[in-house]
Amino acid sequence: MKLEKCPCCLGEAELARMMVGDTEMWQVTCSSCGLSTELDDDQTFSAERWNLRLERSKLKMWVTLLASLLPFLVVTAFLGGSFMGLRL
Ligand SMILES: [Zn+2]
């Protein structure tokens, strides 16, 4: 299963295996900044959760970007509108 890059630093992520008592546990950890998922006994679930985290942070980035662009768009539309109004 392919691991997406780290949502914090875009570093390479790796799946680490740990033994907790007699149970095999898995954790996805970023090799650059150390960000990690919680321990889970399901390898696929760990990887999925990690990949989902990147999707969420991408989404957050877009929302932030749009929110910061919105005032600019409104001003541009307003100025553009009055400019056209003057021309007509
Ligand atoms: Zn990282």
Residue 88 confidence (pLDDT) above 70: no
More reliable by pLDDT, 21 or 1: 21
Region 69-74: mean pLDDT is 92
The alpha carbon of 5 and the centre of ligand 1 are apart by a number of angstroms equal to: 8
Alpha-carbon gap, residue 36 to 18, rounded angstroms? 13
The alpha carbon of 81 and the centre of ligand 1 are apart by a number of angstroms equal to: 45
* Residues whose CB is less than 8 angstroms from the CB of residue 13 and which lie 6 or more positions away in sequence, other chains included: 3, 4, 5, 6, 28, 29, 30, 31, 50
The alpha carbon of 66 and the centre of ligand 1 are apart by a number of angstroms equal to: 25
Please state the pTM of the whole predicted model.
Answer: 0.64
Using the Cα atoms of residue 56, residue 62, residue 66 and residue 67 in order, give the sign of their dihedral: positive
- Residue 24 identity: E
Q: Please write the tens of the pLDDT for every residue from 38-63.
A: 999 999 999 999 999 878 888 888 89
* Mean pLDDT score of the chain: 90
How far is residue 36 CA from its own chain's centroid? Answer: 14
Q: Please write the tens of the pLDDT for every residue from 3-44.
A: 999 988 999 999 999 999 999 999 999 999 999 999 999 999
DSSP 11: P
Residue 83 confidence (pLDDT) above 90: no
The alpha carbon of 69 and the centre of ligand 1 are apart by a number of angstroms equal to: 27
